[in-house]
Amino acid sequence: MTFKLYAQWSVATFSLIKQAHLLGELSSARSFYAVILAYCRDFEAADREMALIALFRGGFADAQRHEFDSQLSLIGDIRAGRVT
């Protein structure tokens, strides 16, 4: 997947989230997007996404923190080749 496709997917996805009034789910969507980037072997972009989300981690509910931590761990496993 090329950067142009990433950008198009990102804009389309986040626009739909906004239209559906699901901004509370934005951190979930962005961490899922970071996992997709990792599966595409774009670890630099995945790390950037997760770093941006991490800025808000302190305000997350327990379930959101757990999801964030799980996605971060999954990205590490993909990077290490433990998950394909």
Cα 32 to chain center, whole Å? 4
Flag whether 2 is in a domain.
no
Flag whether 3 is in a domain.
no
Residue 17 has pLDDT above 70, yes or no: no
Assess contact for 31 and 49: CB atoms under 8 A: yes
Predicted pLDDT at 16:
72
Domain housing 31:
8-80
**pLDDT tens sequence across 29-73:** 899 999 999 999 999 999 999 999 998 888 888 998 999 999 999
Number of domains within the chain: 1
Gyration radius of the chain over CA positions: 13
Nearest C-alpha neighbor of 72 from the set 37, 40, 24, 25: 37
